[in-house]
Structure 1
Amino acid sequence: MTALVREFNAFLRDQVNLNQTRVDTLQARVSSLDAFLADDSVLADLVADDVIPQGSFAHKTIIRPYTGNDFDADVLLPMDEQSGWAPKKYTVELQKALEASSRYAGRATLGKRCVTIDYADDFHIDVVPFVTRADGLTYITHRIDDEWIRQDPIALTSWIEDTARITNGHLIRVIRLVKYLRDRSSLNVASVVLTALLTGRVHSFAGVDDYKNVATTLVSLVENLNDYIGPMTTVPWVDDRIGQNLANRLTPSGFTNLQSQVNTWARKMRAALDAPADESLDLWREIFGHKFGTPSSSALVLAASAAPIETYEKREAPGEQFMERDHHIPVQLDRSVRFRLVGRMSSTQRAKGRYRPLNATGNHVPIGRSLSFTIEDCTVEPPYDVYWKVRNAGIEAVERNSLRGQITRGGGTRFESSLFPGNHWVQAWIVKNGVAVATDTQDVTITKR
């Protein structure tokens, strides 16, 4: 088995992932839009909470746009239900509010379910009114049909986030890789359908090596997907987590094409993974193209220039501690026990102090929020100890000398605050009889103002 860990990481970084400049731009524009709608727009009194990332933005599966395409962020705008308003009025009034501002005038276009804000570069934001109605359920609206559409994208995002943890986070990388292949094929399958199909193929009882790295996770999930859809004679039901079908936009011919393509990928990927090291690279290039395993021109330029600022997102930080090395606690994870580390953030004052689970927003957190992290659904028999690590990363963390990374013993809940932007994370261990038997990690992406 040849995993080519270094090659996959480089390919994701240089060819697949949205580059950091675009990520920063996306987050800054969404934060700016959020502040405008809640504080300065004529709709401010109707806005119930922060905008909520959805789709690829929330799932962290956005990839670099293919030739001729742009990239986008989808966000939900929580709004209070208004007596006498028809469903279409929410979208119409949102577009009017944006057009009334000097910042968004001439950029806001009405869509069927959203208002699209176009920017000068290859980027746009789709803003979808999101209303909790008197029945306590959440809806979006369809402007053309003037009807309510029952949706709960938060449930879908939470499911993907929770499932990704089973794969050590590799599920998200696999989805990006499959979307990269889709964009270079004849497939016409929506990202959310691909995402749900692949997420549904993750098994908590999988073999210990199935999700060990990107390559093994990719082969495992694509083979499982092939086994699942290969025998089907009709388009499958793809659950949106509230009992509705995501695949209703997938045509019979489109599904047949997907079956054929997944079958080809599964066969070729298995051959590439099982090949000897001297053959594996060429086989992966037959799948991903000649850029796989080849340093990009930007990477070569970077290597030849002055060293970039180290943000310690992928490397051990100065002073960072580890359970075995620094606390002499052996880590022997027991697959028969588990727990969930659940992060929550305080909401806006308008939302009356309700705490929102981080995984419902793709782990995006504005600056200035209170955060709580709680051990939940723990199957380890007490008594046991809980150990915590909080790690910051990014340029501001370096400049503030606040990378952290120390490990401390504590209770079942930990409180923090979102003070500065960056990709941060919190990790917890359950220690039973002096051995760490379970661990979980909660990502925290603090966005710029």
Structure 2
Amino acid sequence: MFNTFSAMLLAGTVLVAAPVMAQEITVWDWKSGDPAAAAYYEKAKTDFEAAHSGVTIKYVMQPLDQYYTLLGTALSSNAGPDLFLMNGGAQAKARIPALLKLNDKVADLEKTVVGWPEFTGADGGIYAIPLSIQGFVIYYNKKLYKDAGLDPENPPKTWADLTKVCAAIKAKGAVPCFSMGNKEGYGAEFWFSEMAANQWTAQQQQDFADGKLKWSSPQVKAILQSWVDANKAGWFQDGPNSTTKFMDEYESFMRGEAANTIGLISDVAHWKQFDDFLGADNDGVFRMPSPTVAADKKEGDPMLPVSGGIGYGINKASANADLALEFARELASPAPMQIFFSDTGAIASNTGVDTTKVESQAAKSILGWLKTYGVPTAHANATAKELEEWHRQSQLLLNGDATVDAAAARMDAVQADARK
């Protein structure tokens, strides 16, 4: 009996002496410090830590303009975070070598979460869990339209319509037609995808994604030419190459210093933010037309570039990869995602989020368009090297320091090198 009691006591001692090991999951992003997203991040953290005794979530917010440089340095030195946020498309795909392949780990999520293609590699592997759906639309200031003698309830549907709008805004002389920020080259990214949405067929979109449609092709050069022509026509304010897109361009628009801006449908510079600053009744939205219309598109009924927006990937070198994956799933789950939509205005990737109670007319329009008007976001299907060079070439084009032919030739060379 003594031996039995001693054995039980020893077992109890062992159990007491082996508490749950504390584990810290480090999460990098550029959003967790945003007050609008605070409740979303706190909800995911609180719920996860409550369900995982001894686990602590540590958010590390990095500056957006340095984010990918800092991330690359950390990953290359094996000091990277367990989990990190990425933009879908080129930025996510450029980091596939550092990411854990998730296919067999997210099969159940594919039924309720959308936006996967922008986080899928050429091998068919899924490398991140999407949080949002992203896209581009034109937001416009209804008061400025009215001041210029335009009908604020009848926004442009064709390129001819848009040309007339910009002519009227320019004639009024109070503000430019578009607020444009291209200091980092992002303005050119948005313009590129807006034009491709209507000027390219579905096959041409796929050919560009596959690297088969060259920048020197007539279809791509037409977009470069439209970028130059819009600037020459005086559609943009002075100095777009010295104006940051995030947030100088958008702050200018919100102050009423431009009639239009190419904005997002999620995260920032979108319907919720513009409703708050301009007033919901003054915040208009339309799908951007283009100079020409592809054979499989319809004149006067423009399409909308849409893609997986942002998502979290797991560092395959992480010692806590399994827990990091579980937390990525938590971040994309319905309860936090509902807060994400309600508080930030992001169009959530989780289809279980209820959007029926939204009151914004701009949001209602966008949510309705997503059902039938979505096409690929062309620039997201370029390589990271192409985007970096397009940033540079777009600035040269606006400055008049490069011709369309020269820019296209340089882009061809970068495209060929990037896809070797």
| Structure-2-length-normalised TM-score | 0.24
Higher RCO (C-alpha under 8 Å, 6+ residues apart): 2
* Structure with the largest fraction of helix: 2
